[in-house]
Amino acid sequence: MIIKTKLSTEKNFFRDLKKDLEFDSTSNSQVQETAKSIVNQIKQRGDEALIEFTTKFDNLNKRSVADMEISKSRLMEALDNIPKEIKEDLKQAAERIRAYHNKQKGESWNYKDSDGSSYGQKITPIDSVGLYVPGGKAAYPSSVLMNAIPAKIAGVKNLIMVVPTPSGEQNDLVLAAAMLADVDRVFSIGGAQAIASLAFGTKTIPKVDKIVGPGNAYVAEAKRLVFGTVGIDMIAGPSEITIICDGKTNPDWIAMDLFSQAEHDELSQSILIATDEKFLKSVNESIDRLIEKMPRKEIIKTSLKNRGLFICAKNLSEAAKISNFIAPEHLELSVEHPDQLVDEIFHAGAIFMGKNTCEAVGDYCAGPNHVLPTSGTARFSSPLGVYDFQKRSSLIHLSEKTADSLGRIASNLALGEGLHAHSESANYRVIKKK
């Protein structure tokens, strides 16, 4: 298989690399119009429209939205039904995710100045959060755990999960994960109609303050449309992996790590940066030998052909510079001394250190969150965490003395801006000389 290869020494390397990283992120007009229509119908007609869309798109005939709620007893039944080994693996994953995210909990703080005035920050959880989970034949229990656990650790009291169940097909793994993650309520609804129901509320579906979780193009567009009415986690682009390798890792391992992201969909991007062209050729040979064994080989082939990239760098420091330019969602440092190289990495969603650490374990059970910034947004965004479900309020408590001194400053600055009421408000706290 021929994968596009670039040398870092090429003229206009970074300009051309930028083009290689681009993809068409705009929704097509049909998706936009359909999602907009659905969102507006839900906003106007609530439960009535939700029943219509659920019947139409999911072939789920229910007389009321209340009938679409999945009970806690059904969640427990699902947990009991899954094979013992899978149940234990799911529990271990949940425990590891919980342990990692417990360390992210923000704490309120304050301090006092010499005049006795105090300043601080109050941390409070978001009251209500909606979690979208793909459903039907697709099973993404990991998405349930990665989104729900940090929300509950943050203190979210009302966590409402929505999951489509086409023709009534419920996935026990997804429902079991919801039970383990302490989700409060679950509804068998999906698509743009589910997002709108959570954003605006209906007679039956509670209105939430923030919506998280992955979905298809209609779900993504609906999230875009309701942003502002509610908060959202992100509008995610295609999955990405960048691997920096010093040539000392088994080429088969590297090939399979590239496959692990390429198999998501045709727009996924897999990039290998190495310091030796011979090693790049070895990995290519491994790809040719291993790819035919992959059940999703056609998706992998299309992804690697259209968006795969091999880069030969002069040294590992240059490789780090290139990676920072890419700002990948997932970054593997498959090198002998990852602890040294990581100091040169500034932009990456998640960093997997050493040849033994594959991205796949991060998706499921290592502990850190797998909801990560894509499309270069790791330059300014972070993985989903407890902090995404908490709010920060500033605290200011002035003594009489400080109110006097700061009042004089604020009054003058307000006048400079032409805001006289601001000035007078501050002046009222100024101690008048007798």
Instruction: List the CATH number of the domain containing 194.
Output: 3.40.50.1980
pLDDT, tens digit (0-9, with 9 covering 90-100), for 215-262: 999 999 999 999 999 999 998 889 999 999 999 999 999 999 999 999
Say which amino acid occupies 289.
Answer: R
Is the same domain home to 197 and 245? no
pLDDT confidence of residue 1: 86
For residue 404, CA distances in Å to 34, 114, 117, 417, 422 come to 58, 14, 12, 20, 15
Same structural domain for residues 138 and 41? Answer: yes
Single residue among 170, 202, 232 that ends a domain in this structure:
232
Residue 240: name the closest of 260, 214, 216, 217 by CA.
Answer: 260
Asked if residue 279 belongs to a domain, the reply is yes
188/68 same-domain check:
yes
Mean pLDDT for the stretch of residues 58-70: 95
Whether residue 173 is found in the same domain as residue 33: yes
Beta strands in 194-292 (DSSP E): 210-212, 231-232, 240-245, 269-274
* Residues near 404 by beta carbon (within 8 Å), at least 6 away in sequence: 429, 430, 431
User: Are 52 and 97 part of one and the same domain?
Assistant: yes
Q: Is residue 121 part of a domain?
A: no
Whether 220 and 35 have beta carbons less than 8 Å apart is answered as no
Closest CA relative to residue 247, chosen from 315, 177, 150, 193: 315
In this structure, are 256 and 141 located in the same domain?
Answer: no
User: Does residue 163 sit within a domain?
Assistant: yes
Q: Does residue 382 belong to any structural domain of this protein? A: no
Nearest alpha-carbon partner for 232 in 131, 350, 111, 355? 131
Both 15 and 37 in a single domain?
no
353 and 298 in one domain?
yes
Q: Among residues 330, 332, 347, 359, which one is catalytic? A: 330
How many CB atoms neighbour CB 253 within 10 A? Answer: 18
Is 309 a member of any domain? yes
Strand order in the sheet with 240-245: 5-7, 309-312, 269-274, 240-245, 330-334, 350-353
Q: Rounded to whole angstroms, what are the CA distances from 82 to 43, 79, 236, 266?
A: 38, 6, 30, 31
Q: How many domains does the chain have?
A: 3
- For residue 74, the one-letter residue type is R
Domain span at 207? 29-113+126-232
Query: Out of 240, 329, 332, 359, which one is annotated catalytic?
Result: 329
Active site residue 370: no
141, 278: one domain: no
- For residue 137, pLDDT over 70 is answered with no
Q: Residue 136 pLDDT > 90, yes or no?
A: no
3-state SS track over 62-89: CCCHHHHEECHHHHHHHHHHCCHHHHHH
Instruction: Tell me the pLDDT tens digit for each residue of 70-103.
Output: 999 999 999 999 999 999 999 999 999 999 999 9
User: Confidence band (pLDDT; 50, 70, 90) for 433?
Assistant: confident
Report the relative pairing of strands 350-353 and 269-274 from DSSP bridges. Answer: unpaired
Q: Both 249 and 303 in a single domain? A: yes
In a domain, 275, yes or no: yes
Please state, in angstroms and rounded to a whole number, the distance separating the CA atoms of residues 130 and 151.
Answer: 10
Beta pairing partners, 6: 311
Pick from 314, 344, 366: which residue ends a domain?
A: 366
pTM of this structure: 0.94
For the residues 294-307, what does the mean pLDDT come to?
97
On whether both 86 and 145 belong to a single domain, the answer is: yes
> Which of 313, 348, 366 marks a domain boundary?
366
Q: Is the pLDDT of residue 135 over 90?
A: no
DSSP at 27: P
Q: Are residues 275 and 227 in the same domain?
A: no
Catalytic site includes residue 329 = yes
Q: What is the CA radius of gyration of the chain?
A: 26
172 lies in a domain?
Answer: yes
**Residue 161 belongs to a domain:** yes
State the Cα–Cα distance between residues 43 and 214, nearest whole angstrom: 22
